[in-house]
Structure 1
């Protein structure tokens, strides 16, 4: 007879408790700071596009930089996006407590230097454009042709299997219409 593992017992317990909102926001923000690559999903005229792209975060807000490519054209026509970020090792499920990731539904604001120089400059304080310029061997001149995409979350589905050990559901749901501390 096979004995249930700790993971099997916790999953079988059907834990549904949500973290207190400030704790959930802190955990999500910490997770966002930990990584820097997401998949940004856009859609226009019923044609979806999913783009792996570098990001930087400030609290629960995500910033990406993009040239005038398909994703920007999509965002000009439809400002709603999906974002997926995960930090999950290849698992044989012995390391189940390291499975963590999120899906975000959000709305974007397109920041351009020539239209909103102050908001653009503030976004560049968060988005570390210098790393990319240095990798290209270019001087640290502030980019002015790039569009900064500011993504404000509407809903975040945060999955952290380690939360089961603390008595909380593995899936935590954050929604913007509630009072946010971030």
Structure 2
């Protein structure tokens, strides 16, 4: 039987993408999607929450109600894992990232919020909620700067690279 994508067969390549190419692919994924699954840990155990996000470089951000379970968990333990993925139509299209970092909860009066709002398309959410577009957001903002990312893209195997690639923030 002929294979549609023979490059998906074993053996799996082990090549590593150059950092610049890996970063370009990660940024493309972060920019092309708008939903993620946020994993936190709290007194009741793990919590995985789908959230709409925006990105600024390797930083993922979203709003949250101050008394939500995810914010309570983040205040107790800021370590998070965020899963972001493109729609899957088959193994060849498998593309996603696990983003690891520490979440920062920025309340409405926090001085650093302004630099993130430029990249946050808050107008969409204001329109959905019937809020005036002339009033800036007052929502609690959660910001996660990626410390490391595990990026998976099976299409990379076509070029002799491993499907799973690893990125770490430069210090």
Match of 1:157 in 2: 150
Match of 1:31 in 2: 29
Q: Which runs of at least 4 in structure 1 moved beyond 6 Å after TM superposition?
A: none
- Show structure 2 runs of 5+ residues with no match: none
- Give the RMSD, CA atoms, in angstroms: 1.7
Match of 1:75 in 2: 74
1:112 matches 2:111: no
Residues in 2 aligned to 1:26 and 1:36: alpha-carbon distance in whole angstroms? 17
Is the 2:7–2:157 Cα contact (8 Å) retained in structure 1?
A: no
3-state SS of 2:117 partner: helix
Is the 2:8–2:92 Cα contact (8 Å) retained in structure 1?
A: no
Is the 1:33–1:57 Cα contact (8 Å) retained in structure 2?
A: yes
Residues in 2 aligned to 1:30 and 1:9: alpha-carbon distance in whole angstroms? 23
**How many Å apart are 1:97 and its aligned residue?**
2.4
Match of 1:175 in 2: 168
**How many Å apart are 1:46 and its aligned residue?**
5.4
Determine which of 111, 116, 120 is the counterpart of 1:123.
116
TM-score (norm: length of structure 1): 0.86
Match of 2:58 in 1: 60
How many residues of Structure 1 are paired with residues of Structure 2 in the alignment? 169
Residues in 2 aligned to 1:135 and 1:57: alpha-carbon distance in whole angstroms? 20
- Show structure 1 runs of 5+ residues with no match: none
Match of 1:51 in 2: 49
Is the 1:40–1:83 Cα contact (8 Å) retained in structure 2?
A: yes
TM-score (norm: length of structure 2): 0.91
3-state SS of 2:158 partner: helix
**How many Å apart are 1:64 and its aligned residue?**
0.9
Is the 1:62–1:152 Cα contact (8 Å) retained in structure 2?
A: yes
Is the 1:42–1:80 Cα contact (8 Å) retained in structure 2?
A: yes
